[in-house]
Chains A and B, each alone.
Chain A
Amino acid sequence: MKIHEYQGKEILRNFGVAVPEGEMATTLEQAYTAADQLFSSGHKVVVVKAQIHAGGRGKGGGVKLVKTLEEAAAASKAILGMQLVTHQTGPQGQRVRRLLIEAGSAIDRELYLGLVVDRASGQVVFMASPAGGMEIEEVAHETPEKIYKEYVDPRTGFQPYQARKLAFKLGLQPSQIGEAVKCMMGMYRAFLDSDCTLMEINPFISTKDHKLLALDCKMNFDDNAMFRHKMLRELRDISEEDPLEVEASKYALNYIKLDGSIACMVNGAGLAMATMDIIKYAGGAPANFLDVGGGASQEQIENAFGILLSDSNVKAIFINIFGGILRVDVLAQGVVNAARNLNVSLPIVLRLEGTNVEEGRKILAESGLNFQVGATMKEAADLVVAAAGGATRQQN
């Protein structure tokens, strides 16, 4: 789960991390009032920031610096409601429904602070870099020596001495070290307390008058831990998510929309990814990732079908099931029911193997419906690509 920048900053503020003064606005009136307050309290510069769940907002025109109330009103009007396109939104962009109206800062240095769960060590790692304001992946690739890391011992947690080490390596002034340590300790506590998988402040700035501030904030939460975070669950903004993915999540289906024409229904995440791969090698393109899981019921299969069919790009459906816990006859009955109830007219290709496969094949054969069955993954993939109108891409 992801949240907006303004929500992340609110969490950080609660954990003692310094963030700029600001307010969220969903209307032009609210934006105006917020800007008015900031100018009235003496701020010379105000920032109008689009709030969407994607990075690269500045480059896409979703962030504007303004010096007067009139400019603030004009910037708010331009950004609120716009279709913001960034490298993370895709070409269709994302509609801006919220703004953050924030006090501007006189930036002296841009730094990076981040926390992530490191798979290799099985520990949380705190990262800091003097190369803030850039994509950290780029820094890691080009100048890895500019990323400092402190691994957190789970028995003691992140310690002040580790925060001090990072602060000194960042080249902060002696007078800033205390505040930097406070911010970092706050970040760590927020990370732990909110079950984050990733937290980044980029940039973390030092102002011309030596103040430290979190100018941006990115937090990803562990979906598996959301059962114990009622407050965080309420921060979810489903208007930022794909409607089909939201629908799928209601039925506990693991669905990700892609842009091809062959819908896939598979059990197990690994096999689902492999199915997408084999479609590609057969010359087609997958319309989605869908893992119906190990214990899918007939109802879930029907719901999954409904979701696959609501994607208007879909020209054919590929069902690849290796029955383990999920019995093939249960799946076959679900597919037959769905095809009848939803009046499916698209070609369906199945590849079935595993527990109760004979019963499953019998149900399909006796249904009188038009299914094609592939004996192997390869054969089924070739069939479904042909059914969807042939190869769309050269095999590579």
Chain B
Amino acid sequence: MSVLVGKGTRLIVQGITGREGSFHARGCADYGTKVVGGVTPGKGGMIHEGWPVFNTVEEAVRETGANATVIFVPPPAAADGILEAAAAGIPLIVCITEGIPVLDMVRVWEVVKNSRSRLIGPNCPGVISPGKAKIGIMPGLIHKEGSVGIISRSGTLTYEAVYQLSERGIGQSTAIGIGGDPIVGTTHVDALKLLNEDPDTEAIVMIGEIGGSNEEAAAAYVREHVKKPVVGFIAGQTAPPGRRMGHAGAIISGGEGTAQSKMEAMRAAGIHVAVSPAEIGATMQRVMGK
């Protein structure tokens, strides 16, 4: 078993005829994910690289039995894309799009949290269960099947952590990129819950960033509920306050969300904190006794 994605995943791609959507639909399929079609309004009825294209998500779900969607729609229309997927009742929505206005996400979140759908992202690399399936843009090659779950706000930093683990022969159960925006559908705590309950996950790497208080909440959750060993890292220890470091979420404001306070919260919860980003793999190796 793996969380979120697996052999039973039937994926559609919103924006499948676009450059990114098309490229990554192929990437997901090549990794072994069952891609069953795509959506581009106005191009319904077409066949794109062998996949049927539909005008609406509702139609795509009805015709293909899709249970997951990945969104590559440009930022001005991406919020609408998420709402359309939620209205169609798709259980898993992964939104890759970066740059969605935050007030759009306020409205989207109000709907999604009251729906049957789980949203991953936006502004995220997606989800991968190595050896089974992936929904997203991560390079499959660096992953290795195994038992460490990974949670991260960042794309390339997740790849870095995965790489350090794979190099040491430590495989991964599921890597969840939750996204770098201030409002995301699945938080560190939600993702921790999933991995904590997953029998195939023996240990967890949690990568956070400066800004907000998500990591502090996650640390509190670990202290209360998680018996599996957890390794943590916080990026942005040297970032100046008040500046947005790329991710809209990564901003220290008014003393809240500093790397220091997050690392302290993690340590207090018994999380093994890697201070340097080069130590994530080695720390996990030590913790697992391998």
A interface, CB within 8 angstroms of B: 88, 117, 119-120, 122-124, 135-137, 140-141, 153-155, 192, 195, 197, 222-225, 227-228, 254, 256, 258, 266-281, 286, 289, 291, 294, 322-325, 353-355, 376-378, 381
What A residues does B109 contact at CB under 8 A? 122, 154
B163 at the interface (CB under 8 A from A): yes
How many Å lie between the Cα of A155 and that of B107 in the bound state?
A: 8
What A residues does B99 contact at CB under 8 A? 224
Q: Binary interface profile of B, 245-259, with partner A (CB < 8 Å = 1, else 0)?
A: 111111001110000
Q: Are A323 and B183 in contact (CB under 8 A)?
A: no
How far in angstroms is the closest Cβ of chain A from B240? Answer: 7
Q: Total A-B residue pairs with C-beta atoms closer than 8 Å?
A: 176
How far in angstroms is the closest Cβ of chain A from B16? Answer: 17
What B residues does A120 contact at CB under 8 A? 212-214, 217
Contacting residue for A291 out of B238, B243, B246, CB 8 A: B246
29 contacts between A and B (CB under 8 A): A117-B182, A119-B249, A135-B254, A137-B253, A154-B106, A195-B101, A228-B76, A268-B156, A269-B209, A270-B152, A270-B207, A270-B235, A271-B160, A273-B157, A273-B239, A275-B277, A277-B236, A278-B277, A281-B275, A289-B239, A294-B137, A324-B139, A324-B156, A324-B159, A325-B137, A353-B160, A355-B139, A355-B141, A378-B276
Q: Are A123 and B209 in contact (CB under 8 A)?
A: no
Contacting residue for B235 out of A137, A141, A277, A376, CB 8 A: A277
Q: Are A119 and B154 in contact (CB under 8 A)?
A: no
What A residues does B152 contact at CB under 8 A? 270
Q: Are B213 and A270 in contact (CB under 8 A)?
A: no
Q: Are B160 and A377 in contact (CB under 8 A)?
A: yes
What A residues does B276 contact at CB under 8 A? 277-278, 281, 378
Q: Are B243 and A154 in contact (CB under 8 A)?
A: no
How many Å lie between the Cα of A269 and that of B124 in the bound state?
A: 11
Given known A154-B106, A192-B103, A324-B159, contact A270–B214 (CB-CB < 8 A): no
Contacting residue for A269 out of B213, B240, B246, B254, CB 8 A: B246
B171 at the interface (CB under 8 A from A): no
Q: Are B163 and A322 in contact (CB under 8 A)?
A: yes
What A residues does B197 contact at CB under 8 A? none
Contacting residue for A377 out of B142, B233, B278, CB 8 A: B278
Given known A224-B101, A289-B239, A294-B137, contact A119–B213 (CB-CB < 8 A): yes
When C-beta atoms are compared, the residue in chain A nearest to B279 turns out to be A378
Beyond the given A268-B154, A271-B159, please list 6 additional residue pairs across the A-B interface where CB-CB is below 8 A. A153-B110, A224-B75, A273-B210, A289-B246, A355-B141, A378-B278
Q: Are B182 and A268 in contact (CB under 8 A)?
A: no
Q: Are A354 and B139 in contact (CB under 8 A)?
A: yes
Q: Are A117 and B183 in contact (CB under 8 A)?
A: yes
How many Å lie between the Cα of A365 and that of B213 in the bound state?
A: 45
Q: Are B110 and A269 in contact (CB under 8 A)?
A: no
How many Å lie between the Cα of A88 and that of B243 in the bound state?
A: 11
What A residues does B238 contact at CB under 8 A? 273, 276-277, 279-280, 286
Given known A88-B242, A224-B248, A377-B277, contact A270–B156 (CB-CB < 8 A): yes
What B residues does A324 contact at CB under 8 A? 125, 137-139, 155-156, 159
Q: Are B105 and A273 in contact (CB under 8 A)?
A: no
Contacting residue for A273 out of B103, B182, B250, B255, CB 8 A: B250
- Nearest 6 A/B pairs, CB to CB: A270-B154, A269-B246, A268-B156, A137-B254, A270-B157, A225-B101
How many Å lie between the Cα of A353 and that of B163 in the bound state?
A: 9
Q: Are B137 and A272 in contact (CB under 8 A)?
A: no
Q: Are B210 and A122 in contact (CB under 8 A)?
A: no
How many Å lie between the Cα of A196 and that of B275 in the bound state?
A: 35
How many Å lie between the Cα of A155 and that of B114 in the bound state?
A: 12
What A residues does B48 contact at CB under 8 A? none
Residues of B177-194 at the interface with A, using a CB-CB cut-off of 8 Å, are 180, 182-183
Q: Binary interface profile of B, 108-148, with partner A (CB < 8 Å = 1, else 0)?
A: 01100100000000000100000000000111011000000
Contacting residue for B243 out of A153, A227, A256, A354, CB 8 A: A256
What B residues does A270 contact at CB under 8 A? 152-158, 180, 207, 209, 235, 246-247, 250
How far in angstroms is the closest Cβ of chain B from A57? Answer: 16
What B residues does A154 contact at CB under 8 A? 106-107, 109-110
Q: Binary interface profile of B, 156-171, with partner A (CB < 8 Å = 1, else 0)?
A: 1111100100000000
Given known A122-B110, A222-B103, contact A140–B254 (CB-CB < 8 A): yes
Given known A273-B210, A354-B159, contact A119–B235 (CB-CB < 8 A): no
What A residues does B278 contact at CB under 8 A? 278, 376-378, 381
Contacting residue for B254 out of A136, A278, A281, CB 8 A: A136
How far in angstroms is the closest Cβ of chain A from B205? Answer: 13
When C-beta atoms are compared, the residue in chain B nearest to A326 turns out to be B156
Q: Which of A119, A135, A273, A325 is most buried by chain B, counting CB atoms within 10 A of its CB?
A: A273
Q: Are A119 and B212 in contact (CB under 8 A)?
A: yes
B287 at the interface (CB under 8 A from A): no
What B residues does A140 contact at CB under 8 A? 254
Q: Are B75 and A122 in contact (CB under 8 A)?
A: no
What A residues does B76 contact at CB under 8 A? 227-228
How far in angstroms is the closest Cβ of chain A from B32? Answer: 18
How far in angstroms is the closest Cβ of chain B from A67? Answer: 36
How far in angstroms is the closest Cβ of chain B from A289? Answer: 6
B46 at the interface (CB under 8 A from A): no
When C-beta atoms are compared, the residue in chain A nearest to B107 turns out to be A154
B102 at the interface (CB under 8 A from A): yes
What A residues does B207 contact at CB under 8 A? 270
Given known A224-B99, A324-B138, contact A273–B212 (CB-CB < 8 A): no
When C-beta atoms are compared, the residue in chain B nearest to A197 turns out to be B102
How many Å lie between the Cα of A156 and that of B18 in the bound state?
A: 36
Q: Which of B138, B247, B255, B277 is most buried by chain A, counting CB atoms within 10 A of its CB?
A: B277
What B residues does A323 contact at CB under 8 A? 139
How many Å lie between the Cα of A268 and that of B236 in the bound state?
A: 13
What B residues does A322 contact at CB under 8 A? 156, 159-160, 163
B87 at the interface (CB under 8 A from A): no
